[in-house]
A and B are shown apart, each in its own frame.
Chain A
Amino acid sequence: MITFKDVSKTFTIGKREVHAVRNVNLTIEEGEIFGIIGFSGAGKSTLLRLVNVLENPTAGAVEVQGVDLASLRPTEVRKVRRRIGMIFQNFNLLTSRTVAGNVAYPLKLAKMPRAKIKERVEELLRFVGLSDKAKDYPEQLSGGQKQRVGIARALATSPDILICDEATSALDPDTTGEILRLLKKVNKEFGITILLITHEMHVIQSICDKVAVMEDGEVIESGGVFDTFTSPAHQTTKRFIRSVQQDLPSPSLLDEWRQKGGKQLYRIIFKGEVASDPVLSRVTRKHDIDVNIVYGSVQEIQAKFYGNLLVSFDGDVGKTANAVEELNEIVQIEEVDVTWA
């Protein structure tokens, strides 16, 4: 659907060159929700703008539905843009138009007949749940409602692709959840491919199928969300994951643990089905030792379980070693060095 082939984008600001995007290779398949995560300044915003030709690459090629965007004339670019809806962090609604006027705007640009526009606008407002706000102006709406208008407007021309520029970053957590559910609905009901950028890991965790992590203009890691979440390769990825999932207790709690003569801690990671099996209980019972869960969580990622537990064992040293060995065959288990914490 969207292919980045060795894409680079360099801005020249005064005499300084800024490499916003470097040698990016990515493929976004039809029907996917693909998330790009990175800290601010990582280049994700520029990468996103290459898809609808708001920016042009300095090297490499961006293909959308098999068409190299660089080969298009301005009038063709404008046609392609109508197949790609875009929503923004700050909504970018037209203040001089009502909610209905904003949603109608792209249809007017596309020269749809007036009666048809009216019908389509009603349909879209119903879809985003804002039928009663049609005559309101943007300043009368809450942030979440504004983004709903943004989404309705982006969907007006029935695009194949929706690109989201930090669409939930200006919203509170509740509203963020609301908008994310709406995006999921857009993806499911209309089969629209979604490419989003964010700096919030929970956005990726809640709706994305695939993820790419960007740093300094480069894609440093990419793949399925579950795999990336459960076995991140890169330090930056780990940092993002830690933002939604604390994997160590706070230093003061660890201190307390040590003062009470705490034992060796192990981290156990369950993925998928094993998370729902009573593995831990079965193995410890078999080896006649006790298990103590010190810290941890079980999460759902892409409809799969992911458990990350910190445990200690009580009992004979030899039996503990045997139990750990057996557990190691079923789940991921490792000793945790807490002396630095």
Chain B
Amino acid sequence: MGVDWQTFWPRIVEATGQTILMVAVTLVIGSIFGIIIGLLLFVTRKGNILENAFLYQIINFLINIIRPIPFIIFLVAISPLTREVIGTTIGTWAAIFPMSIAAAFSIARVVENNFISIDPGVIEAAKAMGASPLQIIYTILIPEALGPLVLGLTFITISLIDFSAMAGTVGGGGLGHVAMTYGYQRFDTSVMIVTVVILIVLVQLAQWVGNTLSRKILRR
């Protein structure tokens, strides 16, 4: 095997750090926008607290356009926009931009689904107690949906680890980049195995954190 692990380990550690950074930042940005978009989608639904058919149709349409595009194609397709916003299309931050957009729309759907599963009776009860639409959002919708929401976000986090590997192939850095350049293109199986093992550990870790958190929130 032609790898000098002495010099290669720091490279792996750096790449792992990049992957975690990409996933973490994307998760935060994606969640913020995802929750907002998901909320808008839910409250503008027919019969809901801020019913607005026009807004609902637009958001729904946008989500349905962006979600089915394979990420690797989306990544390339919006690269002109990435250059406008980030200044470059290469590197970790250039990967975070498209990842955040894709994540936000996926999260929006997850958020909407979780809100729909809240008993409408509870929302009616809050209304009957004099809650305003805004109060309903932050005292009912979010706390009542938080448990399943955390599980949904965990699911998204794991697909983000997958996204980050893809982003690596177009210069985003991270473990995906290492696996592609050293493992795939140089036929170095041991590098491939090491990166895959790290990815598996990251996924397990994310799932464990998500499960623990949601169990705490749901009390089961």
Contacts and interface: CB of A to CB of B under 8 A. Distances in A.
Given A90-B121, A92-B122, A108-B139, A78 B144 contact: no
Given A88-B121, A92-B122, A96-B146, A54 B127 contact: yes
B143 A109 contact: no
Given A88-B121, A94-B122, A137-B219, A54 B128 contact: yes
Given A96-B143, A96-B146, A106 B122 contact: no
Contacts of A153: 129
A97 B140 CA distance: 10
Interface size class, chain B: 20 to 34
B3 interface: no
B132 interface: yes
A126 interface: no
B129 A54 contact: no
Contacts of B127: 54, 81
B128 A78 contact: no
Most buried by B among A78, A82, A84, A157: A78
Interface string B131-160: 110010001100110100000000000000
Contacts of B10: none
Interface string A99-116: 000000110111000000
B144 A109 contact: no
A78 B49 CA distance: 14
Given A88-B125, A90-B121, A92-B125, A81 B146 contact: no
B125 A109 contact: no
Contact of B144 (A52, A90, A94): A94
B219 A81 contact: no
B56 to A, nearest CB: 18
B14 interface: no
Contacts of A79: 130
B84 interface: no
A108 B138 CA distance: 13
Contact of A86 (B125, B139, B140): B125
A142 interface: no
Interface string A120-135: 0000000000000000
A232 B217 CA distance: 54
Given A88-B121, A137-B219, A94 B143 contact: yes
Contact of A78 (B122, B130, B139, B217): B130
Nearest to B220: A139
A105 B143 contact: no
B119 interface: yes
Contacts of A88: 121, 124-125
Interface residues of A, number: 27
Contacts of B129: 81-82, 86, 105-106, 109, 153, 157
B13 to A, nearest CB: 40
Contacts of B126: 94, 105
Interface string B111-123: 0000000010110
Most buried by B among A75, A86, A96: A96
A75 B190 CA distance: 66
Contacts of B143: 94, 96-97
A92 B119 contact: yes
A84 B128 CA distance: 8
Given A81-B129, A96-B144, A110-B130, A54 B219 contact: no
Most buried by A among B121, B122, B129, B146: B129
A79 B128 CA distance: 10
A2 to B, nearest CB: 15
Contact of B130 (A90, A92, A106): A106
A95 interface: yes
Interface in A163-207: none
B144 to A, nearest CB: 5
Contacts of A157: 129-130
Contacts of B128: 52, 54, 81, 84, 86
A109 B135 contact: yes
A109 B130 contact: yes
Nearest to A77: B130
A97 B125 CA distance: 14
A202 to B, nearest CB: 25
B217 to A, nearest CB: 8
16 contacts: A54-B128, A78-B132, A81-B130, A86-B125, A86-B128, A88-B121, A88-B124, A90-B119, A92-B124, A92-B125, A94-B140, A96-B146, A96-B217, A108-B139, A109-B135, A110-B130
Given A88-B124, A93-B122, 10 more contacts: A54-B127, A54-B128, A75-B132, A90-B119, A92-B122, A94-B125, A94-B144, A105-B126, A139-B219, A153-B129
